């Protein structure tokens, strides 16, 4: 795997005790090369309760983050410090450009909402006419509400010179964005091609400055990390095992293609294990069609050692159900 290390290291953001990856290309690289799937937990603001299709960012386990740092594949960036440095480095021109882009985005969303409202109203009218429930009412002067008054401040209505349209034949009409002066005709709005023009000056180089590597690094328990590293080196895909009452769940291949084989629990060499935990782990693993694996480091004074100085021993327990 060392031959596949990219030229630039992956940026792993440290946010409130979590190690997060935001770049989808980095996520694909970690999955295909380093067998790290992580956990997606991003949600949409309009659907906070969704629990099936989650998105970015991707959260890595401490063991995964430490392995990437040890192999010089990734660097840990303190997100709060990087955000503070990036904001302090922004010039007044950068801030003005960002504010202008924000206003343009608001105008675009307002126009899209207005178009959707008009389409729903037109569809309701057509359905009422088709069912014979439509009744023509005498026209009356519309009342200008507070919301409409606010919208008029953002959108310039068609004027005597603006009703000529893009072609100048007097048949076109449209809406002009107040912030940019860009005119969008009904044909453009129907196609939903809203173009946000860039500001006059581009974002300065300070806002694109690369973040500095954080001084702290992930520090999971040594026995647990060495067990993870050993199984990962054998080609297993490891994922958190909290829902199965263990530390890791080991897959022989990509979890999208394979069923997991082991429920992994790491132990110290002299750590005690009760018979109830032994029986419970074996029965749990058998109940979910997996084997319960106990793994740990050999006694420190063992002569036979691996090059890294650690030797991992593994044992599998499977409930036979005699009786």
pLDDT tens digit sequence for 184-211 = 444 444 433 333 333 333 333 333 345 5
Q: Tokens 């180089």 belong to which residue?
A: 205
Confirm whether 133 is a catalytic residue.
no
Range among 5-14, 68-77, 82-91, 197-206 with highest mean pLDDT value = 68-77
- Average pLDDT in the 280-290 region? 88
Q: What is the pLDDT of residue 211?
A: 59
The model's pTM is: 0.62
Q: What is the pLDDT of residue 81?
A: 82
Q: What is the pLDDT of residue 16?
A: 87
Any idea which of 10-14, 46-50, 161-165, 225-229 has the lowest mean pLDDT?
161-165
- φ, ψ of residue 207 in degrees (nearest 5): -70, -20
Q: What is the pLDDT of residue 286?
A: 86
Total length of the chain: 323
Q: What is the pLDDT of residue 54?
A: 85
Confirm whether 140 is a catalytic residue.
no
Catalytic residue among 35, 265, 290, 310: 290
3-state secondary structure the chain: CHHHCCCCCEEEEEECCEEEECCHHHHHHHHHHCCCCCEEEECECCECCCCCCCEEEEEECHHHHHHHHHCCCEEEEEHHHHHHHHHHHCCHHHHHHHHHHHHHHHHHHHHHHHHHHHHHHHHHHHHHHHCCCCCCCCCCCCCCCHHHHHHHHHEECCCCCHHHCCCCCCCCCCEEECCCCCEECHHHHHCCCCCCCCCCCCCCHHHHCCCCCCCCCCCCCHHHHHHHHHHHHCCCEEEECHHHCCCEEEECCCCCCCCCCEEEEEECCCCCCCHHHHHHHHHHHHHCCCEEEEEEECCCCCCCCCCCCCCEEEEEECCCCCC
Range 221-323 classified under CATH 3.40.1350.10: yes
Q: What is the pLDDT of residue 115?
A: 93
Confirm whether 22 is a catalytic residue.
no
User: What pLDDT digit, counting tens, does each position of 128-177 carry?
Assistant: 888 877 776 665 655 555 555 555 544 444 444 444 444 444 444 444 44
- Assess whether pLDDT exceeds 60 at residue 66: yes
- Average pLDDT in the 65-73 region? 93
Catalytic residue among 119, 121, 206, 259: 259
Q: What is the pLDDT of residue 205?
A: 35
Catalytic residue among 228, 251, 261, 310: 251
CATH class as words, domain 1-90+209-216: alpha beta
Q: What is the pLDDT of residue 12?
A: 93
- Listed by start position, the domains of the chain span 1-90+209-216, 92-133+152-190, 221-323
| End-to-end Cα, the chain, rounded Å | 48
221-323 shares the fold of 1-90+209-216: no
What does the mean pLDDT of the chain come to? 76
Any idea which of 26-30, 110-114, 138-142, 177-181 has the lowest mean pLDDT?
177-181
């Amino acid at each position: 795997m060392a031959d596949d290390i990219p030229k630039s290291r992956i940026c792993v953001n440290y946010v409130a005790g979590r190690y997060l990856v935001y770049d989808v290309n980095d996520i694909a690289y970690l999955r295909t090369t380093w067998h790290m799937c992580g956990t997606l937990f991003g949600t949409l603001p309009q659907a906070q309760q969704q629990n099936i299709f989650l998105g970015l960012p991707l959260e890595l386990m401490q063991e995964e983050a430490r392995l990437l740092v040890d192999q010089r594949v990734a660097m840990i960036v303190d997100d709060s410090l990087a955000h503070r440095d990036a904001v302090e480095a922004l010039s007044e021109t950068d801030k003005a450009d960002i504010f202008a882009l924000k206003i343009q985005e608001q105008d675009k969303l307002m126009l899209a909402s207005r178009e959707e409202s008009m389409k729903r109203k037109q569809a309701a009218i057509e359905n009422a006419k088709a069912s014979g429930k439509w009744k023509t009412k005498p026209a009356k002067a519309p009342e200008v509400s507070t919301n409409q008054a606010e919208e008029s401040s953002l959108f310039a209505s068609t004027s005597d010179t603006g009703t000529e349209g893009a072609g100048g034949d007097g048949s076109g009409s449209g809406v002009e964005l107040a912030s940019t002066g860009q005119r969008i005709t009904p044909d453009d709005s129907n196609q939903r091609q809203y173009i946000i023009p860039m500001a006059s000056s581009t974002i300065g180089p300070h806002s694109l400055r690369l973040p500095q590597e954080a001084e702290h690094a992930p520090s999971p328990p040594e026995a647990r990390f060495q067990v993870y590293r050993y199984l990962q080196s054998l080609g297993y895909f490891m994922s958190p095992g909290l829902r199965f009452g263990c530390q890791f769940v080991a897959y022989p291949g990509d979890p999208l293609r394979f069923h997991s084989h082991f429920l992994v629990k790491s132990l110290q060499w002299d750590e005690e294990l009760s018979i109830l935990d032994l029986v419970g782990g074996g029965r749990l693993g058998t109940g979910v069609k997996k084997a319960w694996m106990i793994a740990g480091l050999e006694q420190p004074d063992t002569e036979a050692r691996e090059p890294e100085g650690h030797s991992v021993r593994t044992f599998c327990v499977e409930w036979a159900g005699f009786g």
